Amino acid sequence: MSDAARTPDTGTRRKPDTATRGRGDAAIAVRALAGQREFEGAVELQKQIWGFNDI
Amino acid sequence: MGGQAFGAFDSNRMIGFCLAIPGLKPGGGSYLHSHMLGVLPEYRDAGIGRLLKLQQREDALARGIELVEWTFDPLEIKNAYFNMERLGTIVRRYVRNQYGTTTSPLHGGLPTDRCVAEWWIASPRVRAIVNGSEAPDRPEIVERLPVPADITAIKRQEPKRARQIQQELSNRFESNFSRGLAVVGVERSPEAGTYLFGKWE
């Protein structure tokens, strides 16, 4: 099983894209995070959105 | 312990996420504490935060969880409106300086006072709201608590006044909660956001 499809360490079950919404030409897909890279991506997003990471 | 993490993706780019951890209430009832939800500024006001919350709800229901909680800054009326009116949460608890004073520019150096949102995700009220049908009648509104609509600018430009507003709010929240009232809705106008309090059974 590839990393992207494996159940991540959080115990969150990986699902296919289950929620989408058109935003202009873009389709936004919501799905469970999977793999180290995506969790690190969420940490980076946290820094960008809140401007800090001390919570 | 595990947890729940969802991302919102524009093609392959993550532009928002939410993160929750499981908890147990005294007596053993399980719930989720939703710790973070954020969307990049350029993607806001497009319903993406709601998509993330709905996915969080669907996943929690599939696991037999019926309560999701999170904290929010009661000075941020936009967030409060989203929580109460678009998701159907209620609020019965107020926590002073929940996280201590942080370095985030979003917090403006104020104590991190927070309301605790309770999202009873299997309730008829929440089902009606998230399905887009008309929400059940509110309880009778017995208290109204206004917050200036420009509080974000006040936090940035007049931090002492912002702190004064926050202290007055915290006293009113705690007084109302001690009388058994709950926040059951939020109204917005150009001048103010208003918390609506009623009895919650």
A20 is a domain residue: yes
Which domain range does residue A34 map to? 3-50
Summary mean pLDDT of chain B: 92
CB contact under 8 A, A49 and B46: no
**A19-23 and A26-32 beta bridge pairing:** antiparallel
Least confident piece of the model among A21-25, B51-55, B159-163: A21-25
Q: Does B131 reach chain A within 8 Å, measured CB to CB? A: no
* Tokens encoding B111: 């104590």
Question: Would residue A55 count as lying in a domain?
Answer: no
The angle formed by the CA atoms of residues B60, A30 and A35, to the nearest 5 degrees, is 85
Q: Which residues on adjacent β-strands are paired with residue B119? A: B68
Any domain includes A13:
yes
Please answer whether residues B74 and B195 qualify as being in contact, where contact means their C-beta atoms are separated by less than 8 angstroms. Answer: yes
Nearest to B108 by CA among B44, B147, B154: B154
Residue B109, pLDDT > 80, answer no
CB-CB contact of A31 with A16 (8 Å): yes
In the DSSP assignment, the letter for residue B158 is -
DSSP of B74-110: TT-HHHHHIIIIII--EEEEEETTTT-S-S-GGGTT-
User: For residue A36, is it within any domain?
Assistant: yes
How close is the nearest chain A Cα to the Cα of B129, in Å? 18
Helix (H) or strand (E) holding A39: helix A36-50
The one-letter code for the residue type at A44 is E
pTM for the model stands at: 0.84
> How distant is the Cα of B44 from the closest Cα of chain A, in angstroms?
11
Mean pLDDT calculated for residue range B40-47: 93
* Alpha-carbon span B100 to B46, nearest angstrom: 31
Q: Is A1 on the interface with B (CB under 8 A)?
A: no
Cα separation, B110 vs B163, in Å, equals 7
pLDDT the model gives residue B2:
77
| A45:B14 CB<8 A | yes
pLDDT interval class at B106 (50, 70, 90) = low
In a domain, A29, yes or no: yes
Tell me if A14 is assigned to some domain: yes
CB contact under 8 A, B104 and A50: yes
Are the beta carbons of B39 and A49 closer than 8 angstroms? yes
B-chain residues within 8 Å CB-CB of A54?
A: 102-104
Task: Give the up-direction half-sphere exposure of residue B66: CA atoms within 13 A in the CB hemisphere.
Answer: 7
Prediction ipTM score:
0.80
- Kindly state whether residue A9 falls inside one of the protein's structural domains: yes
CB contact under 8 A, B40 and A21: no
Domain count, chain A: 1
Query: Which tokens in the block code for residue A2?
Result: 């590839």
Comparing A24-38, B56-70, B140-154, the range with the smallest average pLDDT is: A24-38
